[in-house]
A and B are shown apart, each in its own frame.
Chain A
């Protein structure tokens, strides 16, 4: 970084991240939006399906296996998908799944989804700063409120809200269709705001 002051001509100050580690093989749908500030690393494939949005400084790590992201997911900044956790466990077998996100999943800022066949069901929202432990299976349309923790290997049924200090309840609003609709709208806006550079990762 040599330049002196932030000027109107420069649109961001994003110091480069040391791209340590290998560049993973990626399969992107043509309709995704991925910021060039996102970080993709690892040895296993990363699949991102149509219309999903990857914010800058989101980190997808496929060291522990394949990462597949469904349709219309939103991965916010500073998330760590496929995090190896404190254990740093490495398993380099072929066909291993690290993290699977079904359609309409939102992973909010600074949330962590650990690797190890972890699954987030359709429409699930992982709140800011939450952690989804290794091998957890979160059902459809769950809400993990901010700063919550889903333990390793946990099974969370559909429509569960994890809130407070690990309390759970059922979401009885029945608004999943509305949620999906809102997600589509949000993606429409984000597409116009976040310059997409999928070619950077190929």
Chain B
């Protein structure tokens, strides 16, 4: 079975890719249609780089100051607003640093199917078909997170909530199975108590009573605080260095590092050896127990293997599910044993919803803003929105049927949606002028399409004018009047295999009122200024039959 027929498309090249050696020269071609054979200037849509420079018209912006097309790859973006796509709450950017890029209210995705999770009272599960409890006019806890698509619920990982709001913070406090989890605050408090003792009486062998693997954040926290102390201890006696001077290249760091490795580093304990009997400076040593953040790797995986055996295939998380857990790991909600790399379905955690942004865009060259949305989450308006579609003509392409040239089914050549080799096909290109001035369009294509199997292309009308756009709000009733059609006949010829893509160079010229004085232009004498824009585009015509 042949690949599905292809609907004709038009992609436009952004000038930001001009630097590529295969790209067109920045200047417009000197000649017009007659010079189309100028192969040096051609643009190969099949070149690997072309994938990154071709865009549909909707994706392109236009800088009014540079008079140039801008694409999503070259514009500079600035975040205007962060918001949660689920509860649509705006998150101040200051919160992001402390709380991460996930919604910290009650918005979660299902760890099984990534569907949205709803907070529901256990008395009344979410699915409208199975809600109940006639008397539960005010449903009370406990609450669960439930997926209305795959029917997963947090009871499957043994978690229930006391309150219907602030699920994120509640979830931080419980492990799967419901037993409590040390939060950052608890850790801080505990640290205050212990830190003073441990630094003094550091017996590396003394394992803390609360054994068991540390969870990721505790682990990290312990390590950080331990090494912070180590650094400050080892430096404090030095010549007044602050922590900020601790770059690798700073002299003190170098000496410290040298000391570290030249002294007898085999003995990590605090006990100074003979060789390192430097003046009272304590040796910089490594973490030695859990309180200091030492977490021996558990190489015995028999229990994990056993768990997998018991859980069997249905209880094993898929690669995709494990992948989405990454988010959980980063947002301090992870389960301890595998640092969030859960292997079992029962180890999965609900995924807090990733925040979304509204972004403004700047021209990469002149730094002018070319797109700026209203900051409010609920608003869909834009303060500035300079899209290419309102500056350059839209190009539509469709097969032209000679027998009934108006509107009809695809041509005989494309009867099965494929182009027959060695058979000329005609296409009609329609240019729609978005601006309120008449535009002169000049087209050029290479005589033969670049690629392994070349097709001959002839533009029958390489130069034409399109009338000015009339008032858009006037319903643009007669398409034929406001927008002139340009008959283009492209004749494909020769054998080929895959999609026929025709590179076409488009040059549009129009006259505008001189932009010298923006505000006063109305009264003053109108000086007309010529504008010109030239760019490559690619016409995806269709697939070529392989018979």
| Touching chains A and B, CB distance < 8 Å | yes
Is B129 in contact with A163, judged by CB distance below 8 angstroms? Answer: no
Question: Chain A interface: which of B57-65, B150-158, B236-244?
Answer: B150-158
| Contact among A106, A143, A178, A183 with B151 in the assembled complex (CB-CB below 8 Å) | A143
Majority DSSP secondary structure for residues of B touching A: loop
Is A125 in contact with B129, judged by CB distance below 8 angstroms? Answer: yes
Chain B, 311-357, CB within 8 A of any chain A CB: 314
A169 contacts chain B at the CB level, 8 A cutoff: yes
Is B130 in contact with A178, judged by CB distance below 8 angstroms? Answer: yes
Residues of A within 8 A of B (CB): 106, 125, 143, 145, 161, 163-164, 167, 169-173, 175, 178-179, 181-183, 185-186
Encode B139-172 as 1/0 by CB contact (under 8 A) with A.
0000000100111110110000000000000000
Could you tell me the distance between the alpha carbons of A179 and B124 in the complex, rounded to whole angstroms? 10
B75 contacts chain A at the CB level, 8 A cutoff: no
Chain A residues, CB < 8 A from B113: 163-164, 167
Is A161 in contact with B132, judged by CB distance below 8 angstroms? Answer: no
Known: A145-B149, A161-B150, A163-B149. A170 touches B130 (CB 8 A): no
Chain B residues, CB < 8 A from A167: 113
B131 contacts chain A at the CB level, 8 A cutoff: yes
Chain B residues, CB < 8 A from A164: 113, 150
B443 contacts chain A at the CB level, 8 A cutoff: no
Residues of B within 8 A of A (CB): 112-113, 124-125, 127-134, 146, 149-153, 155-156, 314
Chain A residues, CB < 8 A from B133: 178
Could you tell me the distance between the alpha carbons of A145 and B127 in the complex, rounded to whole angstroms? 12
Closest-CB distance, B144 to chain A (whole angstroms): 9
Q: A170's closest neighbor in chain B, by CB?
A: B314
Chain B residues, CB < 8 A from A175: 125, 130
Is B155 in contact with A163, judged by CB distance below 8 angstroms? Answer: no
Q: B144's closest neighbor in chain A, by CB?
A: A173
Is B151 in contact with A173, judged by CB distance below 8 angstroms? Answer: yes
Known: A161-B150, A163-B149, A170-B314. A179 touches B129 (CB 8 A): yes
Closest-CB distance, A198 to chain B (whole angstroms): 24
Known: A164-B150, A182-B130. 18 other contacts (CB 8 A): A106-B129, A143-B151, A167-B113, A169-B151, A169-B314, A170-B314, A172-B155, A172-B156, A173-B151, A173-B155, A175-B130, A178-B130, A178-B131, A178-B133, A181-B132, A182-B131, A185-B134, A186-B129
Is A173 in contact with B129, judged by CB distance below 8 angstroms? Answer: no
Chain A residues, CB < 8 A from B132: 178-179, 181-182, 185
A–B pairs, 30, beta carbons within 8 Å: A106-B129, A125-B129, A143-B151, A145-B149, A145-B150, A161-B150, A161-B151, A163-B113, A163-B149, A163-B150, A164-B113, A169-B152, A169-B314, A172-B156, A173-B146, A175-B125, A175-B130, A178-B124, A178-B125, A178-B130, A178-B133, A179-B129, A179-B130, A179-B132, A182-B128, A182-B129, A182-B132, A183-B129, A183-B130, A185-B134
